[in-house]
Structure 1
Amino acid sequence: MIGSRTPGWSRAELSYCSNVHPGDSLEAVQGVISQHLVAVRRQRELEYMASGLWLSANAARALCASESRLHRFAQGLDEQGIRLVTLNGFPYGQFHGEQVKTGVYRPDWSEPERLTYTLDLARILAHCLPREQRTGSISTLPLGYAPGWDTDRHHRALSALCDLAVALADLQDRCGRHIRVCLEMEPGCRLESTVQAITLFAQELPEVAARRGVPKEFIERYLGLCYDVCHQAVMFENASDALTEITRAGIPVGKIQISSALELANPDQQSGRERLGAFAEPRYLHQVRTRDQRRLLQGTMDLPEALADRTLPRHSPWRIHFHLPIQTALLADGELGTTQTAILDVLDHLSENPGMHPHLEVETYTWQVLPLSLRPSNDDGLHQGLGNELRWLEVEMDRRGLLRETTP
């Protein structure tokens, strides 16, 4: 059963995030489910499959406007063999526009629209969560984009998170479903490092909660972290060390997004930088990080800036926030690589810490903006690529004793 606390994960519990597919309206989301999620489920020969569904604010608002519509949506998921256990609540909308870039961070947690959207998602997930599932998770942005962030916005964001925790406690009282909202660290955002996340949960949030009369237990029970492997690899964090510190600080990890970043091992070589230029596409932000001679992080907010910046250190590898198919280790005749080993470190950590049982989802939303030589030409090719990612993950989990037979 999806959600069972039996050690390990069944194949049916492993899925991918649907933000790879365009779907801003409710009708488009229903098409994503029937045309893509079901196709991948059938390709994997599964009777049912968990889903990391992305619902835009428009789609979420439409679902919450009608109890009968929400009921039909849940019924449709069940009939198509899709189990809704986690939602991606990071992009608010238009995630597949011509140029998303920093727009993905708005509205942020200092703006009331973000709280409204997230509560809509919580209501939907509580309604659709399989009966045997203990907890549903929603990933969300790490407060907001760092440039321009100030003390006032920070206080408003933390106050909104406290209001969120209270609302999620009320939701559980009313319907018996436990929903946890998980902040997803990202380079260039207000929370980009594990140290910053721990400070938020250990000091800043409890202080604001106390001033607002919000029980500390609400923060601990209804908020947590989503650990995106790509993001923290770009930050040159050791995954096992980071997860150990997060756990030691008492912060729940509700979801891990299995993802891989782009890496240029030798940025001093012009041929490698030229190969890297093929990934400088106009839709998404591709933050770059490297380390200087003191091993301090340096970087730019987007790949074109890094390629044009002669002052960015070139003696140390560049890591780029460009999600790549997780089964890929090398590209461009070996001149480019990935941070795939960080995924293996995460799996090793889960194997060594059986008490951790987050939702796991592959998140490679960039299939349609890959260089043409790597990009699928049609839906069948995309489904095959998504299936290959999940098969690779299954093999690596099985090697570590993390995969179990599906419970009848």
Structure 2
Amino acid sequence: MTLSYCTNVHPAEDLPGVLAQLDRYAVPVRERLGGELGLGLWLSAPVARALAADPLERKRLREALDTRGLVVRTLNAFPYGGFHDEVVKHRVYRPDWTEAARLDYTLDCATVLADLLPDGAAGSISTLPLAWREPWSDAEHGRAVAALDDAAHALRELARRTGRTVRLAVEPEPGCVIDTVADAVRLLAGRVDAEHIGVCLDTCHLAVSFADPAEAVRSIAAAGLRVVKVQASAALELPDPTDARAALGEFAEPRYLHQVRALAGGQVHRADDLPEAFDRLPTGGPWRVHFHVPLHAAPPAPLRSTTDVLRRAMAAVDATCAEPPDVEVETYTWSVLPGGVDDLAEGIAAELRWFSEVCR
């Protein structure tokens, strides 16, 4: 199992900026932890396109990573660009898998990753769960599945040409066409090339769905799908949402979408963002919020994080998966945490230490 941290926490969207951010943050993280450091690299679409078109630039990037002691086995190709704009919200789901730009971006990332992988290693690319759930028609669904078929074909050809296996990991997310692991199993099993397309298990998203972690992992394997990648992350939980606005109000920030689920009366109730949840979700049971919080630091009471879901999911992955997935700590919300963060490199290092001590 390879442990990385996801660089979508950094805002750079050109190659010099990416390298500068790695010098500012990733190298200090590596120095704190010792040894090589895994990166779940995020490249905006223009950077991925430029690198895919230029083998010499890919070689230079590989050398730059090597000299810094940084290892890349996975890319995060969910955000296409503008991930640190003032307002992201639903824009993170565009282009979706009905649009040619999504397939092109994904294959550019695959071309880049094949040249960054350590010798003999397979790689993974996480991607969005087809699209936001609406509007969504049967025709759009057909186009999206056809695009996944095209991606699988291209990944097979990439493996034949380079000897490097790169797999695509579809990431269920609340509010999307593939909202839950159950949706991933229903919509992907038997419909995609399971050698090259599988599931990205984001444990924040898993927690928000209120699914049982072990059952979710087992259902993926039982369906003949692969857990290609795990995004080790934690959601916010409010056990008693009677005064939800007071407890969660500071987390209702304008940049990212923070989907909320409430478990009340034996049912899961849904809201697409915190302001909507305050107005309409029932308060008779716990709420979970799609807000990635640092793994090592408990949020202020009465809030808590869902790290127990992460621990249980990792135990199930270890017990169930024949081939260990790539693992990427993905806390992209440091810049919007209430109170901010004084030392991002130390925060990332602390998360990686926590995971290594608790989940391995």
Would you call these one fold, judging by a TM-score over 0.5?
Answer: yes
| Shift of residue 67, structure 1, vs aligned partner | 1.7
Please list every run of 5 or more consecutive structure 2 residues that lacks an aligned counterpart in the other structure.
none
Q: Which aligned pairs between 1:154-303 and structure 2 lie closer than 5 A? A: 154-203=141-190, 205=191, 219-268=193-242, 270=243, 272-293=244-265, 295-303=266-274
In structure 2, the partner of 1:318 is 287
* Alpha-carbon distance between aligned partners in 2 of 1:352 and 1:171, rounded to the nearest angstrom: 31
Partner of residue 121 from structure 1, selected from 109, 115, 124:
109
Query: What is the Cα-based RMSD across aligned positions, in Å?
Result: 1.3
| Shift of residue 147, structure 1, vs aligned partner | 1.7
4+ aligned runs moved over 4 Å, structure 1: none
* Alpha-carbon distance between aligned partners in 2 of 1:36 and 1:237, rounded to the nearest angstrom: 34
User: Does the 8 A contact of 1:92 with 1:107 survive in 2?
Assistant: yes
Q: Which amino acid aligns with 1:318?
A: W
Q: What secondary structure, in the 3-state scheme, does the structure 2 residue paired with 1:154 have?
A: helix
* Alpha-carbon distance between aligned partners in 2 of 1:116 and 1:35, rounded to the nearest angstrom: 30
| Shift of residue 339, structure 1, vs aligned partner | 0.9
- Match status 1:153 vs 2:140: yes
| Shift of residue 132, structure 1, vs aligned partner | 2.9
Q: Which amino acid aligns with 2:251?
A: F
User: Does the 8 A contact of 2:120 with 2:164 survive in 1?
Assistant: no
* Alpha-carbon distance between aligned partners in 2 of 1:30 and 1:146, rounded to the nearest angstrom: 35
Structure 1 residues 231-250: Cα deviation after superposition (integer angstroms, max 9, x where no partner): 01000011111001101111
Cα distance change of structure 1 residues 168 and 356 upon mapping to structure 2, 3 Å threshold? closer
Q: Which aligned pairs between 1:5-404 and structure 2 lie closer than 5 A? A: 9=1, 13-46=2-35, 48-133=36-121, 135-203=122-190, 205=191, 219-268=193-242, 270=243, 272-293=244-265, 295-309=266-280, 312-329=281-298, 331-332=299-300, 334-353=301-320, 355-372=322-339, 375-377=340-342, 381-397=343-359, 402=360
| Shift of residue 158, structure 1, vs aligned partner | 0.5
Structure 1 residues 139-191: Cα deviation after superposition (integer angstroms, max 9, x where no partner): 00000000211111111100000011111111111111100010000000000
Q: What secondary structure, in the 3-state scheme, does the structure 1 residue paired with 2:189 have?
A: helix
State TM-score, norm by structure 2: 0.97
Q: Which amino acid aligns with 1:337?
A: R
Structure 1 residues 87-133: Cα deviation after superposition (integer angstroms, max 9, x where no partner): 00000001000000000000000000000000000000001111131
User: Does the 8 A contact of 1:350 with 1:356 survive in 2?
Assistant: no
User: Does the 8 A contact of 1:29 with 1:59 survive in 2?
Assistant: no
Seq. identity, % = 44
User: Does the 8 A contact of 2:217 with 2:317 survive in 1?
Assistant: no
Q: What secondary structure, in the 3-state scheme, does the structure 1 residue paired with 2:149 have?
A: helix
* Alpha-carbon distance between aligned partners in 2 of 1:236 and 1:158, rounded to the nearest angstrom: 27
* Alpha-carbon distance between aligned partners in 1 of 2:348 and 2:314, rounded to the nearest angstrom: 19
Q: Which amino acid aligns with 2:293?
A: L
Whichever of the two has the greater Rg, that structure is: 1
Cα distance change of structure 1 residues 354 and 195 upon mapping to structure 2, 3 Å threshold? closer
User: Does the 8 A contact of 2:217 with 2:320 survive in 1?
Assistant: no
User: Does the 8 A contact of 2:227 with 2:321 survive in 1?
Assistant: no
* Alpha-carbon distance between aligned partners in 1 of 2:318 and 2:157, rounded to the nearest angstrom: 35
Q: Which amino acid aligns with 2:245?
A: R
* Greater alpha carbon shift after TM alignment, 194-203 vs 222-231: 194-203
User: Does the 8 A contact of 2:221 with 2:321 survive in 1?
Assistant: no
Structure 1 residues 344-378: Cα deviation after superposition (integer angstroms, max 9, x where no partner): 10232234346340001111000110001xx213x
Please list every run of 5 or more consecutive structure 1 residues that lacks an aligned counterpart in the other structure.
1-8, 207-218, 403-408
* Alpha-carbon distance between aligned partners in 1 of 2:188 and 2:304, rounded to the nearest angstrom: 34
User: Does the 8 A contact of 1:263 with 1:319 survive in 2?
Assistant: yes
In structure 2, the partner of 1:215 is none
Cα distance change of structure 1 residues 168 and 351 upon mapping to structure 2, 3 Å threshold? closer
User: Does the 8 A contact of 1:225 with 1:252 survive in 2?
Assistant: yes
Q: Which amino acid aligns with 1:386?
A: I
User: Does the 8 A contact of 1:288 with 1:318 survive in 2?
Assistant: yes
User: Does the 8 A contact of 2:296 with 2:354 survive in 1?
Assistant: yes
* Alpha-carbon distance between aligned partners in 2 of 1:28 and 1:241, rounded to the nearest angstrom: 41
Q: Which amino acid aligns with 1:114?
A: R
* Alpha-carbon distance between aligned partners in 2 of 1:318 and 1:117, rounded to the nearest angstrom: 35
